[in-house]
């Protein structure tokens, strides 16, 4: 098991270096000079060649490309992602202030997705018939429904018409946990609907496959109660592939928050990313892309390790 974990960690480090190299290449080979972009922020007019050269020297852009690459890697691994062009605030500090809010939203949405997705998928696989048909139809709608459309419908029904939930905004979890979760309910449901549909589909397929295995028929033939057989022998063995879907889906949810945070006016990391793109604040954009990429890789490593723990065949392969 330790060899399997060490192998996955080594692959993760290699993947991190590959992703950072791609980000560095994208920033240096796309059209446009960062120094010109920096000096173009605001209404100061066209920058002079002397001013551009001075900024290039300050940013280290006049150094050889390999030296810039090493400086870039050194900054990432020491937590120095530069300063915002617009606010002069360290990028890592700006991300650190927004990241917990986005993680809270994504974590809440993941919890809802797992609870409802596994429950509906297990119900459809066990009952079959019209229950299976209804769950399959609902999951198809959930996968196809855009998050921003569903979010707008939720605001119209539950905020404007029924006035049960706030239409948006932010409540500090440390000051008012209950109010924070209440205000996050609609955004989290918007994020969760598509993800829970995917989990329901995967759980249903896994349950149908496991129910046909010999050991399940043996358990039924020796007189065990059907619910006990399903809970101990079917559902438990069906959840192994679902773990992989949950891990990948968590990373996908991070990307989906860009739309949801805008719809619900939620000041998370995705809103900071949109502001960075709007203001051409490329250190902020670069920093957020790096953080999201590193988180996605970390999540996949953890999922692979959990998968290896649940299924020994994965370790042997």
Longest dimension (CA), the chain: 87
Picking from 274, 307, 277, the residue whose alpha carbon sits closest to that of residue 98 is 274
User: For the whole model, what pTM was predicted?
Assistant: 0.79
**Burial class (CB within 10 angstroms; exposed 0-12, middle 13-18, buried 19+) of 74:** exposed
For the segment 32-46, what is each residue's pLDDT rounded down to a tens digit? 666 776 666 555 567
**Burial class (CB within 10 angstroms; exposed 0-12, middle 13-18, buried 19+) of 58:** exposed
DSSP conformation letters of 38-91:
HHHSSS--SPPHHHHHHHHHHHTTTS-HHHHHHHHHHHHHTT---B-TTT--BH
**Burial class (CB within 10 angstroms; exposed 0-12, middle 13-18, buried 19+) of 167:** middle
Reported confidence tier of residue 287, pLDDT bands at 50, 70, 90: confident
CA dihedral defined by 26, 29, 35, 36, rounded to 10 degrees?
Answer: -110
Percentage of the chain surpassing pLDDT 70? 91
Lowest-pLDDT range, 29-43, 171-185, 278-292?
29-43
- Residues 300, 44: Cα–Cα separation, whole Å: 45
For the segment 104-125, what is each residue's pLDDT rounded down to a tens digit? 999 999 999 999 998 998 888 8
For the segment 53-94, what is each residue's pLDDT rounded down to a tens digit? 777 777 777 788 888 888 888 888 888 888 887 788 888 888
Asked if residues 291 and 16 have their Cβ atoms less than 8 Å apart, the reply is: no
C-alpha 293 chain-centroid distance? 10
For the segment 132-165, what is each residue's pLDDT rounded down to a tens digit? 888 888 888 888 888 888 888 999 999 899 889 8
Residue 138 has a pLDDT of 87
Place of tokens 């940013």: 59
User: What structural domains does the chain harbor?
Assistant: 99-314 (1.10.3720.10)
């Amino acid at each position: 098991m330790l060899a399997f974990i060490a192998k996955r960690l080594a692959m993760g480090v290699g993947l991190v270096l590959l992703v950072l190299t791609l980000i560095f290449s994208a920033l240096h080979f796309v059209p446009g000079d960062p120094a010109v972009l920096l000096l173009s922020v605001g209404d100061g007019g066209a920058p002079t060649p002397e001013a551009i050269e001075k900024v290039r020297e300050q940013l280290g852009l006049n150094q050889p490309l390999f030296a810039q690459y090493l400086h870039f890697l050194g900054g990432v691994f020491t937590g120095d992602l530069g300063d915002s062009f617009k606010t002069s605030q360290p990028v890592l500090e700006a991300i650190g202030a927004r990241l917990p809010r986005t993680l809270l939203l994504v974590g809440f949405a993941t919890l809802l997705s797992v609870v409802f997705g596994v429950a509906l998928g297990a119900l459809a696989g066990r009952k079959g018939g019209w229950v299976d048909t209804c769950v399959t139809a609902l999951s198809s709608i959930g996968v196809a429904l855009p998050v921003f459309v569903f979010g707008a419908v939720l605001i119209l029904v539950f905020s404007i018409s029924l006035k049960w939930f706030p239409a948006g905004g932010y409540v500090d979890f440390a000051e008012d946990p209950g109010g924070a979760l209440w205000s996050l309910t609609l955004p989290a449901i918007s994020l969760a609907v598509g993800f829970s549909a995917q989990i329901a589909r995967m759980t249903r397929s896994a349950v149908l496959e496991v129910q046909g295995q010999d050991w399940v028929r043996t358990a039924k033939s020796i007189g065990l109660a059907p619910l006990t057989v399903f809970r101990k022998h079917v559902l438990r063995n069906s959840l192994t592939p679902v773990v992989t879907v949950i891990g990948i889906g968590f990373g996908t949810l991070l990307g989906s928050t860009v739309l949801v945070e805008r719809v619900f006016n939620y000041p998370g990391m995705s809103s900071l990313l949109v502001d960075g793109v709007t203001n051409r604040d490329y250190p902020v954009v670069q920093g957020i892309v790096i953080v999201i990429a590193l988180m996605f890789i970390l999540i996949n490593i953890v999922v692979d390790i959990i998968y290896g723990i649940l299924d020994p065949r994965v370790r042997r392969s």
